[in-house]
Every structure is written in C-alpha cells, then in structure tokens.
Amino acid sequence: MELFWFIPTYGDGRHIGTNRGARAITPAYLRQIATAADELGYEGVLLPTGRACEDAWVVASTLIPFTRKLKFLVAVRPGLMSPTLAARMASSFDRASEGRLLVNVVTGGDPEELEGDGVYLEHGERYEVTDEFLHVWRSTLSGHSVDHEGEHLKVTGAKIFYPPVQRPHPPLFFGGSSPAGINVAIKHCDVYLTWGEPPEQIRQKIENVREQAAASGKTLRFGIRLHVIVRETEREAWEAANDLIRYLDDDTIAKAQKVYARMDSHGQRRMADLHGGDRSKLAIGPNLWAGIGLARGGAGTALVGSPEQVAERIREYADLGIEKFILSGYPHLEEAHRIAELLFPLLPRTSAVAEANSGQQNPPAGEIVAYEHFPAANGSAPLPIPTFNRKE
C-alpha cells in the first residue's frame, strides 16, 4: 500500500471549529509539513483546492526544492481553467519536480462557490465539461495536436511543446460518487478516490465501479481519504478524538451543515448522512468516527484507536482493493510524525518507501542515556507518577 499525507492550506490547529490552539498557515509552516512527510517516507501529499485554500499549484511549486521523493497530488479544475493551460501547467510542474506530479480532477460540488468563480453549470453539465476537458488535456500531453468542438469546449490546433516526464501524462486521480462522476472516472482516470465511509459501503462502491470499468475494458486502482487519530492505547485515542471537537459548539455545527446541505455533491451528501449533524451518532463503525465531519467538508471521518486497531482497519480497506491511503491528522506537523512512528511499522509498504533513504545511513533514534548508552529497543514499564508527602 501507499501512504500519503495532507498539506492543510486552509487551516490547522489542535481543535476544529475554533481558534483555540489554531495555527497560522504560513509558507514556512507548510514547508515544515512537506519536508517532514518527505523525510518520514510518505509517498506523497494531497493539496486541497477551493476558494478557502491557498492556491494548490503555487504552494506545491514552492515545495519542490525542499523535498526529494515526495509526490504532489494537485487539482485541475474543469470549468475554471482551460484544458490546454492546465496541460502546460502539469507538464512544467512534472518537469520541474522530475516526475513527481499526480493530478487530482476536481469538478466541484458547491454551486455558490462555483458561481463566485464564474461557473454557472448544473451538476450534470459540469461532468460533461470535465469529460471534454480531460479529452483535450490527455491528448495534448500525449503529444497530439487536437481539434475539438464539443458542447462546452472548443480548441483548434491545441498542442504543447514541452512534454511531461511521466508518459503519456501524470497519473489522474478522480473522486465522484454520482453516476456521471463514475462514468468520467472510468473513461479518463487511473485512480478512483473515495472518502472514508464504512467498509461495507466502500465494498459496494468498489464493486460497482469495477463492474462498470470492466464493461468498458478498463481497470482502475482505488484510493481513500481518511483522518487518523492514533495513540498508544485505545482510551488515549478516543480522548484525543473528543478533545479535537472539545470547543466545537452547536452554532458552528449548524452553520457548517447548512453550507454542506446546499451542495449538489453526492460524496458530500454521503458524508453528511453518516452523522446528520448529531453529536450522538459519531461512532459509525469499529474505530471509525465521523466527528470531524461536523465542521469540516469533504473527508469527515477518522480512524480512531491504538496502532494495532488502526492498522487492522487499514488492512480491511486494503483487502477491499484500496491501494492508496491519503491520511491526515490535527495538527498536521505533529501527527505526520506520530503516524509514521506508530503505524508505519505495522503496515505493508511499497518498495518505493524502502528506497526513499537508500544510500543514507540513518543515525540511532532517541536521546542517548547518560552520554554513552543508546536507548533500548523496548523500554521498561513506565515509572509511577511521583507524589509528594505532606503533613495534613
């Protein structure tokens, strides 16, 4: 399996839905997260897109020189950008990063946000645009001169002169739960993404997509987007989950759910239906918790538990056919380290990760004891918390 991390370009902190423990999203902070993910051995990072985010292409391009192996999953936006411009951007980024670009196709699911960007299209029309967009994008990056006149897009003699490193083009990722979205994914994309629904729902979705893809002579790979709250014990993990929404009040939840209700995204609707905005309905499966979705759009579920429990849940998704796991946790810098420390040793990784630090002798981990002893591989039992005697 391949494990990815997340670059939080629209905010980060220790608690969601509040400014308590909030953290400013500066270029320096995003560099810290990217370099940590690169050094720790994550396959890549996802950069979100939308009006609440820093621009994904600009941010990702600033991170190229600070990383060595890390891949960048960056969005193209059919309807917001021309397919030929998007192709030139992808080719330039792929060349500058020496083949480290992955492309996330985002059609958009919030009509109000899209109108703010000048897009006045119904749900089905947006996928028609996406289909035409990807035809032109893929064809030009594959080295063809393209003439296309469709229902929504028209280009004449479209071409690019500087080809990407990855041929015929960087891999395409796509997430869409509607029939129209699935059709576009099958026709054009390499990896079908889903948000972290319970395993049975994921199984049904994967089987449906696989059957439709097979009927078209296609084979897709699958990925999932999940938050992770892992601690050394299950009790500590659930305490951390509850602490994450500790300051999230009902008014903030209501405001968030009102925004998500106006969206015509099938995937967002499926996320919202898992909890219905109700704090009492957040445990939706073994070690699967929907609390983040009370305030956050998109991926709203987290795996919660001890390292062994979370690893078991991840393996269950892998058994369904998931190969790429795009993970995150709050705050993203600290949790990148925690997950690498607690989960990576328990999961089968791809050979690419093993090669990430090839030729480099890693120093011993941990603080040297008494200036001359390396710490033991397995620590002794923790000492009791000291108490102070006092006279009553």
The mean pLDDT values, 10 residues at a time, for the chain of 392 residues are 97 94 96 98 97 96 98 96 97 98 94 91 94 98 97 97 97 92 95 94 95 95 97 97 94 87 80 78 91 88 97 97 98 98 92 48 70 67 48 44
| CB-based contact 295:252 (threshold 8 Å) | yes
Put residue 157 in one of left, alpha, beta given phi > 0 → left and psi -120 to 50 → alpha. left
pTM above 0.95, yes or no: no
Residue boundaries of the structural domains of the chain: 2-76+190-371
CATH fold for domain 2-76+190-371: TIM Barrel (3.20.20)
Q: In sequence order, what DSSP letters do the residues of 254-310 get, joined into one string?
A: HHHHHHHHH---HHHHHHHHTTTT-GGG-EEETTEE-GGGGT-SS---EEEE-HHHH
Structure confidence at residue 364 (pLDDT): 67
Burial 196-207 (b: 16+ CB within 10 A, else e): bbebeebbebbe
Structure confidence at residue 376 (pLDDT): 72
Which ranges constitute the DSSP H helices of the chain?
A: 27-40, 56-63, 83-96, 111-116, 123-141, 179-188, 199-215, 234-244, 250-262, 266-273, 307-320, 332-342, 351-354
At 352-377, the pLDDT tens digits run 454 544 445 566 677 877 767 777 76
Sequence-ordered list of residues with C-beta below 8 angstroms from that of 292, at least 6 positions apart, any chain = 16, 227, 244, 245, 299, 300, 301, 302
| CB-based contact 127:152 (threshold 8 Å) | no
Rounded to 5 degrees, φ, ψ at 261 are -70, -25
Structure confidence at residue 297 (pLDDT): 82
At 195-214, the pLDDT tens digits run 999 999 999 999 999 999 99
Q: Is-cis flag, bond preceding 164, omega within 30?
A: no
Residue 103 β-bridge partners: 74, 172
Structure confidence at residue 384 (pLDDT): 52
